[in-house]
């Protein structure tokens, strides 16, 4: 199943036959080789498919003969091409333009919906031809690659394929095995078989089949039956075939397996069905693919760089934080990590004072009635930690907005109080599946620089503009560039269309006044209001979503929030602006760790100053120097290890990423000075302690990213 998250289903009485076959060991490297013969279910499934496909092809030929009519196909440049319904395919149109275009097209887009290149067009339509550079085309390319790997997995392991989607950087496939597991030693055999499959240019075929027929086709695989029983709510659904693999899948796919030019299997892990620890354990294999080997080499180089910057590794090496199985998804911040955490919060807190935000403190635990009022209980209760207290259900808060609504509502409000900007660093908990927890980027316990602005309709434009300026000032400090998207009213929205139009116009005006480039993302807003999506770009070119600027027309209705307007109307509804800049502090620390590669700027660094005495005779003076910096508010240490040479101490401090290393000997001791160098071995020479403290305080206070150079 390439694109549906499977659920637990009812049809489990028949024991799965896949996964039982004894796997053959490879010759020499401890890996696997292809099963001979293949598991029986592969041929049985294929035989059933071929009968269905013959019936389908006959019906399609009949339809092409009887129902075909001339249609117009509109290309992106406005040009129209003549075609015939149920006969002409997007690939044929691409060939009519140029063979080069046809060869380089990954997938078609018909009336804004991705569409197989060899699937006949059905009516007048618009047509786009997407190359690999397009994000939607990449998703299709990696989805098809997952099917190639899935075919190889069936032929090597004989297990039950489960779920195999494209992901942000490649694809994976999960498989259930009754015996044994997956080893990295198997990767070579898997890649070799994938390349053989690619060389065969197996066509991707789409077939729509009745649900009950598919339950028979996949009776050997209890996981596919669960998907059909729990996720498929229509009489029919689609399967795709390449070679002997037939899988439940919405598609679309590339034309044939030969379109995938290079593939790499690079990682494996264990996971649980649906990420639930009480369900079956599955083997997950990850891969990546590209249209040429140069792109793969660039990806491999990027992975090495990303690996060296992994926040989990740096966090361990620099003793910033750790996780423990006794509290999954909840980070233990060690003293150095806590310094970074608190410094970030204090940074935002100092900005709040300048920008008219008032900080509040709200409870961690609320009666479930609050979440029923807000609407979260109906849609989000599975992601909340809930428990019974005196026969009533309570839950740890996963977000702050409902609590802030109670604050707004606890007494009558006047237009004179608006905009009311409430900020909250309260601890939040979300019951993420254990299999989804990933370092600091996906956690269960976290804090946000969360704020909610209660304002009148006519104040939206100015408030959004202020939020954007706030955002830019913070990201400038970190050195992040960013891109902006305005997401507008979706098809299924709540509220008055006039209110939506007015709000969207104000957001547009705010973005235009802000002066940064932005793009429109039509129809991608939340059902309760339009939003601005912000993605920051890190040092190695990755984009991350952190900040939130979201309008909300519905929470004020749900909580019946009102204020007295200028004209005395005491039933006037406020608008809520949900706003965060760091987002989750935990996730921002992960991003900053990887962005800086552990080389923290002075103001944020948990290791700012290391004092290094030349020899034991200067140890006491070194301790005094360290105390001066400690008293001035710096994270300062001293190295008096008698077993290390001076050069070794300096090198250790540089490797530990201390921003400044202060060497002291007899000369410095006599004159009350320090000899200054940086972690990059730039020598700044001798300065008095007082001058050094003053200069570093200036650099720290300005939040300079290049303090070592600017000293």
Q: Which contiguous run of DSSP H or E holds residue 122?
A: none
Give the span between the Cα atoms of 254 and 583, in whole angstroms.
37
Question: Which ranges in 318-375 belong to alpha helices (H)?
Answer: 335-354, 368-374
String of b and e for 342-373 (b: at least 16 CB within 10 Å)?
A: ebbeebbeebbeeeebeebebeeebebebbeb
Give the span between the Cα atoms of 395 and 381, in whole angstroms.
9
- Catalytic residue, candidates 226, 253, 430, 669: 430
Give the span between the Cα atoms of 72 and 152, in whole angstroms.
41
* Catalytic site includes residue 531: yes
CA atoms within 13 Å, Cβ hemisphere of 700: 22
For residue 694, which phi and psi values (nearest 5 degrees)? -60, -45
CA atoms within 13 Å, Cβ hemisphere of 603: 18
**Residue 37's CB: how many other CB atoms inside 10 A?**
8
* Catalytic site includes residue 452: yes
Give the span between the Cα atoms of 284 and 173, in whole angstroms.
6
Q: Is the distance from CB of 674 to CB of 624 less than 8 angstroms?
A: no
Residue 516 token pair: 């940064």
Question: CA–CA distance from 254 to each of 88, 206, 239, 675 (Å)?
Answer: 17, 11, 14, 64
Residue 30 token pair: 């401890």
* Catalytic site includes residue 404: no
* Catalytic site includes residue 430: yes
- Catalytic residue, candidates 401, 455, 467, 546: 401
* Catalytic site includes residue 256: no
Quick one: the chain helix, strand, coil %, rounded to 5?
A: 40, 25, 35
Residues shown for the chain: 711
- Catalytic residue, candidates 413, 489, 578, 579: 578
Single out the residue of 638, 546, 631, 529 nearest to residue 588, CA to CA: 546
Beta-carbon contacts of 527 under 8 Å, excluding residues fewer than 6 positions away, are 490, 492, 493, 494, 554
Q: DSSP per residue over 508-568, as a string?
A: HHHHHHH-S-EEEETT-SBTTB-EEEEEEE-TTS-EEEEEEEEEESHHHHHTT--BB-TT-
| Three-class secondary structure of residue 634 per DSSP | coil
| Three-class secondary structure of residue 250 per DSSP | coil
String of b and e for 236-254 (b: at least 16 CB within 10 Å)?
A: ebebbbbbbbbbbbebbbb
Give the span between the Cα atoms of 691 and 331, in whole angstroms.
39
- Catalytic residue, candidates 118, 186, 424, 450: 450
Give the span between the Cα atoms of 319 and 479, in whole angstroms.
24
* Catalytic site includes residue 546: no
* Catalytic site includes residue 465: no
**Long-range own/partner contacts, residues 468-474 (CB < 8 A, 24 or more apart):** 468/510, 468/511, 468/514, 468/516, 468/532, 468/549, 469/514, 470/351, 470/355, 470/581, 471/534, 471/547, 471/549, 471/581, 472/514, 472/516, 473/351, 474/347, 474/348, 474/351, 474/581, 474/582
Residue 683 token pair: 């020598």
Catalytic residues: 401, 430, 448, 450, 452, 531, 578
């Amino acid at each position: 199943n390439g694109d549906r998250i499977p659920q637990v289903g009812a049809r489990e009485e028949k024991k799965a036959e896949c996964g039982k076959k004894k796997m053959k060991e490879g010759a020499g490297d401890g890996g696997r080789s292809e099963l001979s013969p293949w598991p029986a279910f592969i041929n049985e499934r294929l035989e059933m498919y071929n009968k269905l496909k013959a019936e389908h092809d006959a019906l399609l030929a009949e339809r092409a003969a009887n129902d075909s009519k001339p249609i117009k196909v509109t290309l992106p440049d406005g040009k129209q091409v003549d075609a015939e319904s149920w006969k002409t395919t997007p690939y044929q149109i691409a060939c009519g333009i140029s063979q080069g275009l046809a060869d380089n097209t990954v997938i078609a887009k018909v009336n804004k919906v991705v569409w197989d290149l060899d699937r006949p067009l059905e009516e007048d339509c618009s047509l786009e031809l997407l190359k690999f550079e397009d994000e939607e085309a990449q998703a299709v390319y990696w989805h098809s690659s997952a099917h190639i790997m899935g075919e190889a997995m069936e032929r090597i392991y004989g297990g039950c394929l489960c779920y195999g989607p494209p992901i942000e950087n490649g694809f994976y496939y999960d498989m259930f095995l009754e015996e044994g597991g997956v080893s990295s030693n198997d990767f070579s055999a898997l890649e070799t078989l994938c390349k053989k499959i690619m060389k065969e240019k197996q066509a991707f075929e789409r077939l729509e089949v009745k649900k009950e027929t598919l339950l028979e086709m996949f009776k050997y695989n209890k996981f596919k039956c669960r998907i059909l029983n729990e996720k498929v709510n229509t009489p029919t659904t689609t399967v795709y075939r390449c070679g002997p693999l037939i899988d439940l899948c919405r598609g679309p796919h590339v034309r044939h397996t030969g379109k995938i030019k290079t593939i790499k299997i690079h990682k494996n892990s264990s996971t649980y069905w649906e990420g639930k620890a009480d369900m079956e354990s599955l083997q997950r294999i990850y891969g990546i693919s590209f249209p040429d080997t140069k792109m793969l080499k660039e990806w491999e180089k990027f992975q090495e760089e990303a690996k060296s910057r992994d926040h989990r590794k740096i966090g361990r090496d620099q003793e910033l934080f750790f996780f423990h199985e006794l509290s999954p998804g909840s980070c233990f911040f060690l003293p150095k990590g806590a310094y970074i955490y608190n410094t970030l919060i204090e940074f935002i807190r100092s900005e709040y004072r300048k920008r008219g935000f008032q900080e509040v403190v709200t409870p961690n635990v609320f009666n479930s009635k609050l979440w029923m009022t807000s609407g979260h209980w109906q849609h989000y209760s599975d992601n909340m930690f809930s428990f019974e207290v005196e026969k009533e259900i309570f839950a740890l808060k996963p977000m702050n907005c409902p609590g802030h609504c109670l604050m707004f509502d606890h007494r009558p409000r006047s237009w004179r109080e608006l905009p009311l900007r409430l900020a909250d660093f309260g601890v939040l908990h979300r019951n993420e599946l254990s299999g989804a927890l990933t370092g600091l980027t996906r956690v269960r316990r976290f804090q946000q620089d969360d704020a909610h602005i209660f304002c009148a309709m006519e104040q939206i434009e100015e408030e959004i503009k202020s939020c954007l300026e706030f955002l830019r000032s913070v990201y400038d400090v970190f050195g992040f560039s960013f891109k902006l998207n305005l997401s507008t009213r979706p098809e299924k929205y709540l509220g008055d269309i006039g209110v939506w139009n007015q709000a969207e116009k104000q957001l547009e005006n705010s973005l235009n006044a802000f002066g940064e480039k932005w793009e429109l993302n039509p129809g991608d807003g939340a059902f309760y209001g339009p939003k601005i999506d912000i993605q920051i770009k890190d040092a190695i070119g990755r984009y991350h979503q952190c900040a939130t600027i979201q309008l909300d027309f519905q929470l004020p209705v749900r909580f019946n929030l009102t204020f007295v307007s200028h004209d005395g109307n005491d039933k006037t509804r406020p608008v809520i602006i949900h706003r965060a800049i760091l987002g989750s502090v935990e996730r921002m620390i992960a991003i900053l760790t990887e962005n800086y590669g552990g080389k923290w700027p002075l103001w944020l660094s948990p290791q700012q100053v290391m004092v290094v005495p030349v020899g034991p005779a200067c140890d006491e003076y070194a301790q005094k120097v360290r105390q001066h910096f400690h008293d001035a508010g710096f994270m300062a240490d001293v190295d008096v290890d008698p077993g290390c040479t001076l050069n070794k101490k300096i090198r250790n401090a540089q490797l530990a990423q201390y921003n400044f290393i202060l060497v002291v000997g007899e000369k410095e001791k006599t004159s009350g000075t320090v000899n200054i160098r940086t972690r990059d071995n730039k020598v700044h020479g001798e300065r008095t302690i007082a001058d050094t403290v003053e200069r570093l305080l200036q650099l720290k206070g300005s939040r300079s990213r290049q303090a070592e150079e600017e000293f």
